[in-house]
Amino acid sequence: MLLLQALRAKDLDIAYRRVNVAQRNTIAAELLANERARRLLTEANQQDLQLYRYASEVWYPRLQREYGPALDDAWPGTSVASGGSTGVGPP
């Protein structure tokens, strides 16, 4: 658990900024109109959802059990219980 504390970037800025965004949605429209491309996107999204479910339902609860109540103290402002977001825990 000390490793997790050491790896946490204290100056990490996670504010969302759009970069390299297309001016028009023509590429998105073409991808969604193409049945094969749409199927591949859907499959990839399902894998993302599986990973998120694992992180939120298995990995994060295990981390909470192993680290104990000090997890919230080690990462202030990231407690799911306090309304913060860890980026991996349940919303």
pTM given for the model = 0.46
Choice between 18 and 32, residue whose per-residue pLDDT is larger: 32
* Per-residue model confidence as pLDDT tens digits over 49-89: 999 999 989 988 888 888 877 776 776 655 554 444 444 44
Distance CA 29, CA 36 (A): 13
Distance CA 62, CA 89 (A): 11
In sequence order, the 6+-apart residues with CB closer than 8 A to the CB of 9 are: none
Q: Provide, rounded to the nearest whole percent, the portion of the chain with pLDDT above 90.
A: 29
Tokens describing residue 73: 């103290």
Q: Which DSSP state fits 22? A: -
